[in-house]
Amino acid sequence: MEQLDIAAWPREVLGKEVTGRMRKEGFVPAVLYGSGIKENLHLKLVTKDVNKALHTHSGTNVLLNLSIEGEKITRTVMFKSLDWHPAKDTLVHIDLVGIDVKNAVTIEVPLHITGKCVGVSLGGMLQQEARELKIECLPDNIPDSIEVDVTTLGLGDSLHIKDLKLPEGVTVLDDEGLTVVLVAAPKEEEVEKTPEEAEAELAASLEDKSEKDSEDTSEEKK
C-alpha cells in the first residue's frame, strides 16, 4: 500500500467567507476524525498535495502521513469523503479519518479485469456486473485493486466473488455469491425476409385469425 507525506495547518477561524478565500489561495478545508482524537480537528491542506495523493495508484485509498503544524507527532490518516464543486470539478472540502495501523479497516477497492476472454473471441459480450469490492484488512495490506482474470470464460460463463483470488490477509464483506462478470451469448441476427416470404407469413396470420373468429362465433351460438 502506497503512503505519502502531507502537511496540514489548523484552521482557527471558520465560515464561508474564510474558506472561500482559503481556496483562492490554493488550500482546501478539511476535518480530521477518528483514532486518538478527542475533538474533530479543522485543518487546511494544500490543494496540489491532495490532488497528487489522489492520482497515485491507490487513489482515494492511499495512506497519508499527516503532519499538522504545531504537533510533534505524525498521524496516519485516510480519505473519508471528498466534496467536489458540481460545475468546476474542483475540491471544496475533505473529511479525513485517523487510523491505527494495527487495526483492520473496512474499505472498498476497485476490481480490475485482466486477460483475453475466450467467449468474446466467439462473439460474446463481456459484462462487468460489479466494479468494487468491500473488504476488511490491515491498512498496510490494502490492495490497489483486485484482479479478475476472465481468460477462460466461454459463452454463458460467469465469475462470482467466491471465485476471485484475494491477497493474503484480505477478507471479503460482500455476498460471495454475487456475480462479478459474465459473458453474454451473441444475439441471433434477424434474417431479412423476401417479399414472397413476408406475403405468405401475413396470409397465414390472417387465416389463423379467421379460424379463431369462426370458433369464437360457434361457441357463442351454443
Q: In this predicted model, what pLDDT tens digit does every residue of 114-127 receive, in sequence order?
A: 999 999 999 999 99
Tens of pLDDT along 158-210?
999 999 999 999 999 999 999 999 999 887 655 566 666 666 776 666 666 55
Query: Nearest CA to 66 among 56, 76, 79, 57?
Result: 76
Same domain, 117 and 165: yes
Residue 217 inside a domain? The answer is no
> 17 or 10: which carries more pLDDT confidence?
10
Same domain, 172 and 143: yes
Tens of pLDDT along 46-82?
999 999 999 998 899 999 999 999 988 899 999 999 9
Q: Using H for helix, E for strand and C for coil, what is the string for 120-160?
A: HHCCCEEEECCCEEEEEECHHHCCCCEEEECCCCCCCCEEE
Same domain, 129 and 158: yes
Residue 155 inside a domain? The answer is yes
Res 218 pLDDT > 70: no
Cα distance between residue 129 and residue 150, in whole Å: 13
CATH number at residue 151: 2.170.120.20
User: Running DSSP on this structure, what letter comes out for residue 199?
Assistant: H
User: Vertex 92, ends 91 and 98: CA angle to 5°?
Assistant: 85
Res 211 pLDDT > 80: no
C-alpha cell at 156: 454463458
Same domain, 8 and 76: yes
Question: How far, CA to CA in Å, does 149 sit from each of 70, 110, 111, 115, 176?
Answer: 48, 14, 10, 6, 17
Tens of pLDDT along 124-159?
999 999 999 999 999 989 999 999 999 999 999 999
Tell me the sheet residues that pair with 3: 63
How many domains are contained in the chain?
2
Domain containing residue 84:
3-98
Residue 200 inside a domain? The answer is no
pLDDT at residue number 205: 67
